[in-house]
A = this chain, B = another copy of it.
Amino acid sequence: MKKLINSVDSVVADALRGMASAHPGLLRVDEENRIVSRASGPRAGKVGLVSGGGSGHEPLHAGFVGYGMLDAACPGEIFTSPVPDQMITAATAVNGGAGVLYVVKNYTGDVLNFELAAELCADEGVEVARVLVDDDVAVRDSLHTAGRRGTGATVFVEKIAGAAAEGGAPLPEVVRVAEEVNARSRSFGVALSACTTPASGRPTFELGETEIELGIGIHGEPGRTRSTMRQARELVAVAMDALDEDMPISGDVLVMLNGMGATPLIELYVAFAEVAEYLSGKGARAARSLVGDYVTSLDMRGFSVTVCLLNEELTRLWDAPVETPALRWGR
């Protein structure tokens, strides 16, 4: 296992030091409590947005902290939920008096910990709501999940709900927007290779020379089926068919063609061309899009595609200014 790290135990702490050094104008890193928050601090009267989850999915979540998106992120160890203490400290730190929204990917550990944290926050007088992201259509229940897994739509929820909060929407309104984004979003992933966690040093599963996994989870959880390698066009069709079957795709859509961490950008653009053609065949259109690494699985090769059926409100909120390490426009 060749990884660009100092030691298996210090990966997350070292990466957070790196984020702090790379983005001093945007981020503050509380190394002790392991919280990444906006350098500008909380804004009075604004709903605070907090997310978090296991590390290994960078830039998710800490890379989405900043104006127009998250107020704070709580990174856990690699592929491991953060603990309630982090979530409570984060909520308290970002609370501007208008309450806090936890954006929670649907994995059992995250769900329980964010739930406990929300209850303890309420005891301390901080109003906390939660939105559950469960966009992955590949499997109904999974290794770490009751119900669908939360994957790519997390980026859309954080961006769009973040814009609503930045615009002064009260907590119930931010919750409504976040839930609407999740309801209108679906994802499907394909692995060309497994990933290797630093702690284990071995691939999380084995794929043969020509084998791929359709419907892969972001921690390498099994998908729907193994298959043999095919053209990008065919793999995209498998993914898009799965999305369309679950939620018919039409009109203007927001698309994220996401790399899993070790997929060259040129290949992601090849796949995006096929997504655009697929949409065109459905009378739909990629009105807004992201192509790149946004929700990764360490060094996994492969891609996921996430679509969100846009409406006027969501489009406006997507287009609103954002300034984070990983997404930045309009400022």
**B55 to A266, Cβ gap below 8 A?**
yes
- Specify which chain B residues have a CB less than 8 angstroms from the CB of A330 in the assembled complex: 331
**B286 to A21, Cβ gap below 8 A?**
yes
Q: Which secondary structure dominates chain A's binding surface? A: mixed
Task: Let me know if A252 is at the binding interface, CB within 8 A.
Answer: no
Task: Let me know if A103 is at the binding interface, CB within 8 A.
Answer: no
Q: In the complex where A22-B286, A273-B21, A328-B329 touch, is A231 in contact with B193 (Cβ < 8 A)?
A: no
Task: Let me know if A296 is at the binding interface, CB within 8 A.
Answer: yes
- Specify which chain B residues have a CB less than 8 angstroms from the CB of A23 in the assembled complex: 289
| Shortest Cβ distance from A293 into B: residue | B265
| Shortest Cβ distance from A234 into B: residue | B6
Q: In the complex where A192-B2, A303-B4, A331-B329 touch, is A262 in contact with B264 (Cβ < 8 A)?
A: yes
Q: In the complex where A273-B21, A276-B18, A331-B329 touch, is A232 in contact with B291 (Cβ < 8 A)?
A: no
Chain A residues packing against B (C-beta within 8 Å): 2-7, 11-12, 14-19, 21-23, 55-56, 58-59, 63, 78, 192-193, 209-210, 212, 229, 231-233, 235, 257, 261-276, 286, 289, 291, 293, 296, 298-299, 301-303, 323, 325, 328-331
